[in-house]
A and B are shown apart, each in its own frame.
Chain A
Amino acid sequence: LRRNVEDFTGPRERSDLAFVTFDITADILNEKSGLRTFCNKILMLIFNIFDWNVKQLFLYLSAEYSTKNNALNQVVLWDKIILRGDNPRLFLKDMKSKYFFFDDGNGLKGNRNVTLTLSWNVVPNAGLLPLVTGSGHMSVPFPDTYETTKSY
């Protein structure tokens, strides 16, 4: 069990006051397949991202890490679509990781350098489709040993 609180504030010019707290409350490593699931609580406050030309935000949390097999791995753990007009304050409690976190191989075991970042794709009414990454990132070191699966 591990608690982490991190602030993923976005760069100034795009999203002045985006603020995210990410709180991992439990994690489990399955011995068979290096499967990792997160139960997490995410509190998000998003202000001022939505201007007249922003139709929606595609928000996603991704993990990035390096293994013996592959120099770079990126896995989206969780994503959410936020439409203009949605409540700008999102509180998602006890949310399990939306997508299974499989590695291509066994590279998660003992991996000290798994970094979580929050990014978003701004979808305009018409125009460019930028991908923005929040400046905060969280490192999640994986344990050296597998645990037997707990129920959660």
Chain B
Amino acid sequence: GAAAVVPAMLSLDFLDDVRRMNKRQLYYQVLNFGMIVSSALMIWKGLMVVTGSESPIVVVLSGSMEPAFHRGDLLFLTNRIEDPIRVGEIVVFRIEGREIPIVHRVLKIHEKQNGDIKFLTKGDNNAVDDRGLYKRGQHWLEKKDVVGRARGFVPYIGIVTILMNDYPKFKYAVLFLLGLFVLVHRE
């Protein structure tokens, strides 16, 4: 009777769906994926513009600013020209020729009338200032070395980035799972 017909109709629908899950569906899913990636990139670029920083979000990599920041904490940066560099600020800077950005606090500044500034930094958890870290012969940092000033932070979350860097297998696993999820998930 009626009970036998319903399951039959359902199974037919299922088969149709599988057949329809063909090239068109696949292209659609790929486009969907592309859109998500583009949106993410746009948001990131937008952040770069708004904050004035080439790297608006950074992960703390060392313990030199403990107990304020620990490895894995996420920092939100701005680097607006209208905000002058002043002592006490937490700056993220790069030493010329080195890739890894450092997060420390400004200890001393000397600023000229025209705005040219040279400054010295030190990590809260370090006993001495950063002169030993700078390039040979370099005694001060300048505006061009600054990636941004830390304006806010969230603890722990950056640990995922550190794990992905230290364990490439973990990174591939995460990317693979993400890709799988997006392709299989049907809107």
Contact = CB atoms under 8 A, between A and B. Distances in A.
Contact of A62 (B88, B111, B151, B154): B88
B88 A126 contact: no
A72 B114 CA distance: 11
Contacts of A58: 68, 88, 105, 124
Interface string B123-147: 0100001000000000000000000
Binding site secondary structure of chain A: strand
Contacts of A124: 153
Contacts of B68: 55-56, 58, 81, 123
A149 interface: no
A126 B87 contact: no
A121 B68 CA distance: 10
B89 to A, nearest CB: 7
A129 B152 CA distance: 5
A75 interface: yes
A142 B93 CA distance: 34
Contacts, number: 68
A75 B111 CA distance: 12
Interface in A39-86: 55-56, 58, 60, 62, 69-76, 81, 83
Nearest to B109: A74
Contacts of B112: 69-71
Contacts of B87: 60, 62, 74-76
A151 interface: no
A99 interface: yes
A115 B150 CA distance: 26
A76 B151 contact: no
14 contacts: A60-B88, A62-B87, A69-B110, A71-B111, A71-B112, A74-B109, A81-B67, A81-B68, A119-B88, A121-B90, A125-B155, A126-B153, A128-B152, A129-B153
Interface of B: 67-68, 86-90, 105, 107-113, 118, 124, 129, 150-155
Interface of A: 55-56, 58, 60, 62, 69-76, 81, 83, 99, 104, 119, 121, 123-129, 131
